[in-house]
Structures are given as structure tokens and as C-alpha cells.
Chain A
Amino acid sequence: MSAPPTGDADLLARHVNGDPQAFNELIERHRDRLWAVALRTLGQSEDAADALQDALISAYRGAAGFRGGSAVTTWLHRIVVNACLDLARRKAVRPTEPLPADVTADRTGPDALADRDIQMSVLAALRRLPAEQAAAVVLVDIEAFAVEEAAAILGVPSGTVKSRCARGRARLADHLKDFDPRRNETDLSRVETGEQADSMKRNGTQP
């Protein structure tokens, strides 16, 4: 129980046993990722800070409730995501203010401007998703959690996570075609000539 690196579960156990520094050390390790999840789920840094603070106090006080059957990070993320979804439900309206500058990092390079545009578009579109879809997309597509772990965090079956991700991506893709000037809008009602129409008839894909 000396020198070697301390695991998350050990830190949490020390916190439960009264070590005054252990929780801070634990949060320091995961601070940025937890912030990323809160910020991108709620889309607004003031809300994200409120939710994250509530969540971390809750985790601090309820640390004895960690039962060790999952990773500490799963437990922490669950508390944070629940706090975010609670706040989103209480506020009932998704944010409409312009994105604050801190939600994207500055990049340099030849495509910096285009990249930043796309990033802003993605984040703006994300803010318009229902909070539960946004949370799923944030966990799986942005923070790269495995579907099963995202399911444990969200408290829903894996199939529900996949479904929320699919819905979220579809809405985002739809919004992105409005934002991204490089993407052509396809008016499908006018796709009637040539190859498409013939193959549709051949394949009998009429509804």
C-alpha cells in the first residue's frame, strides 16, 4: 500500500476512509474529460459548470456507494451525465445563445478555417438535439466510450444507446447540410432522370 501508482478505486477508498486529498486527486485525473462531457451535452458552459459542480459534490458525498463492479470513471460519468440531463430537463429548453468561444479549440494550419467552421457547426447542431440523444452522441462519438460502457453510464440498454446515436447522427447530418456550404443539398423529389429513376423502377423500390 505504498509507493506504486494509485488506482482510481484506491483513491476513492481512501476518500471514503477520510483522506482529505484523495477525492481532489481523483478528480484532477479526469477533470477535462468530465468537463468535455458536461459542456458538449449541455452546449453552454455556465450550465455545464453548474451541473458538473452538483455532480462532483454528489460523488464526493456518495463515494461509499461505489461498489467496485465497474470502473470509477464509469461511476463518475454516470453521476455527471445524470446531473446534466436533470439540468436539461429542468431548463426544458435547449440553449439558443451563440456558442461561446471556449467550446472549440483554436487550430492552425491551412484548413484551420474550414475545420473550425465544421466544428462550430457540429457543436451548434449538437446543442439542438434532445439532451438524451446529445449525451449518447457525446459519449460514443466524441469521447469514444464503447457502446456498452455508454449504456452503463446512461443506465439504458446498449440497443437504446445505438438507437439514440443513430437518431442523433441523422439529425446532425441534416443540420450540417444547412451549415456546410461545401455540401450540396440534394432535392430528391427531382431525382427522376436517368440511372436513378430506371433502377428505382427496376428494383421496385416504390413505397
Chain B
Amino acid sequence: MSDQASPPDEPTGHPSLDNLADLDEGLLSENRRAEVTDHLSGCIACRERAETIPATRAALADLPPVTMPPAVRNRIAAALAAEPPLATTDTEQTSEPDVHSSTVVPDAADIPRRNRFGRPSAAALAAAAAVVLAGGAILVGHFHHHSSTDEVDAAGSGTVASPDATNPLNLDLRVNSYVKKATGANYNASDLPDLTASLLGSSTPSSAANGATTNSAGSARGKAPVAGPEAPMAGAGVGTATSAKVPAALMPLYQSRQKLAACAFTLTGNTNATPEVIGFGHWTTSGGMTVPAAVFVFRTNTASVAKVFVVDQTCSPATLAYQEVSTP
């Protein structure tokens, strides 16, 4: 792997320090490792040079810990003291009225470089307005409008990315629209896989728009069927639970695309992460309490794996539940 990266042997035929450092770190190919090791067995000078690598590591490890000097400490304390406590009102521009705001929206300019909100233009906000369907139980929404002038991660522009620090959950960042659904009865941790399957099964835009069937519709073996569109869907599991309602406590979250976007960001740390579907219902905790809860289902870059967060109506970072769920 590093044979290309490592500079070649010095003209004298001895391995370079880079080679020796790669050897020490286990980065050499099997062939190269054998070559270098073989050379070392016959070359005292190079063995001594090779020894400088672990010696350097030891010198680094041996550095004494440092303490922050008082002057720096005071300066930072003063800067933080000048910050207001985290606001409870949304700071991002939006055309939606803000009644109960209890989630925090970080200001775009202050988010660490890699996570920057693309500020939607007014036209984009209008274009992304939720689509209300017959029955009203499913709403499709968009968090962002990605324009070419927005600075977004490459992963958000359509390519499948591998997990890294900006996307450690390996979420499929190509998802750019979400579906909101009232889930009906109470769910607990053991129901999450089935709940996820039924939420995902009826979440594709085509199924939402014209009632086309999806393969997971029939696999909802859970306690109560998930509310679907008025158009009939095949599969015994999904019934016509159009009476499923969004709990009152969740309505502020449910109604605010911006709050939902902020919540997705809170959960994932990535402004390009859009859940595939968000369920609104009640959750029974392991302690036996039943609370209003929203279930955020995120697709990952692994086709059969979804990552599911259950949050309360404030989208507290102390989530009610988090599971990696295998999807059909």
C-alpha cells in the first residue's frame, strides 16, 4: 500500500527512513516488508537507523503533560462568559411561525467547517413546501435546497461516501426528502425493527403519491398498523389506521420543517443527513413510562441497514433510543 507513497531506497541501496517508519507501522506490503527485513538482518547501520523510529515514538510518549497557562485560561473563560446561554429561539431564517421553540439551531457561520447549513433561498423554501395528500397522514418535506453555490460536502452531492468523521454513522446522504407519519399506538425498543420496516415500507414518494405498493408493507407485524395514504396498499399488516394522530406534544416539531432539520442535525452532526421517514407517536421506555416520541429513520450506505433514533418532543440529544436496524 505504501510502496508507492514511500520514497525509494536511497541511492546507496539502503531503505529510507520513510521505509523504516512504514515497516515499524506495518504499512509495507508483504514483499517489501520481506525485502527490508532481509536487508536489516545483514546491515547493522540500517538496524540502528531503524531503531530511531521507535526511539522517536518513545521520546514523543515521554513528553511531560502540559497545563494551560493561567493567561490562556482567563482569556478563554472571558470569551465564553461573553457568550449568551444557548438561545431557545430559532436563529435561521424561515417563513414558518415559531410557536413552541425548544430546539437549538446553531448559527450557520459558527458551525465547524465541515458542517455548514446551506441557507435556503426564499424560492427554495417555497419550492420545498410540504405536500399534503388525501387523508393528511403523510407529508413529504425537504430540509435543504442544494444549489451549486452552496458549500456542501461532496458526500451530499450525490456520491456514496464512506464513513468518516463528518459521517461516522455512514448515513446515505443522497436522501433529500423525508416523509412524516403518525405511527399510532405505543412502541418500545423491541418493536423498533418492525416499526422501522413498516415506516420505510410506505415511505417511498411514489407510494405516497399514488398508493403504489411496496414490498415492506406487509411485513409490519408490530402491534398497530402504521397510518398509510388513503389509497389502498397491499399487505395485511398495513391497515387503514387513518385515525392515527400526531400527539399534541409533538405538533410543534411535526409542523416545523426547520425544527425537524435541526433535530436531524442534532442527531447526526451532519447538515446533509435527511431521514427517510419520521414517525410520530408514543414510546414506552424501559422504565415503563409512555411519552410522546418521534422516530427518525436514516438510511445508511449499507443497503440493509438503517439507523433509528427515538427522541422526545424537544429532540433532546439524550435520545430515548438508538438502534441499528436491519431492513428488508
Contact = CB atoms under 8 A, between A and B. Distances in A.
B44 A189 contact: no
Contacts of B43: 191, 196, 199-200
Nearest to A49: B72
Contacts of A52: 72, 76
Interface residues of A, number: 93
A68 B41 CA distance: 49
Main secondary structure of the interface of B (DSSP, over half): loop
A107 B64 contact: yes
Contacts of B14: 188, 191
Interface residues of B, number: 87
A5 to B, nearest CB: 16
Interface string B101-118: 001111100111111000
B262 to A, nearest CB: 7
A62 B111 contact: yes
B94 interface: no
Interface string A150-186: 0111111101001101110111111011000001001
27 contacts: A12-B317, A18-B88, A36-B66, A56-B80, A57-B110, A58-B111, A60-B83, A61-B107, A68-B267, A69-B168, A69-B269, A142-B63, A152-B168, A153-B165, A163-B2, A166-B18, A169-B24, A169-B57, A170-B20, A170-B21, A173-B52, A188-B12, A188-B46, A191-B12, A195-B44, A196-B43, A203-B38
Interface of A: 9-10, 12-13, 15-20, 23-24, 27, 31-32, 35-36, 39-40, 45, 48-49, 52-53, 56-58, 60-70, 75, 78-79, 82-83, 86, 102-105, 107, 115, 118-119, 122-123, 137, 141-142, 144, 151-157, 159, 162-163, 165-167, 169-174, 176-177, 183, 186, 188-189, 191, 195-196, 199-200, 202-203, 205-207
Interface of B: 1-2, 5, 8-14, 16-18, 20-22, 24-27, 35, 38-39, 41-46, 48-49, 52-53, 55-57, 59-69, 72-73, 75-77, 79-80, 83, 85-86, 88, 103-107, 110-115, 162, 164-166, 168-169, 262, 265-269, 314, 316-319, 322
Given A79-B112, A103-B66, 9 more contacts: A24-B80, A48-B72, A64-B317, A69-B169, A119-B62, A142-B63, A144-B61, A173-B56, A188-B46
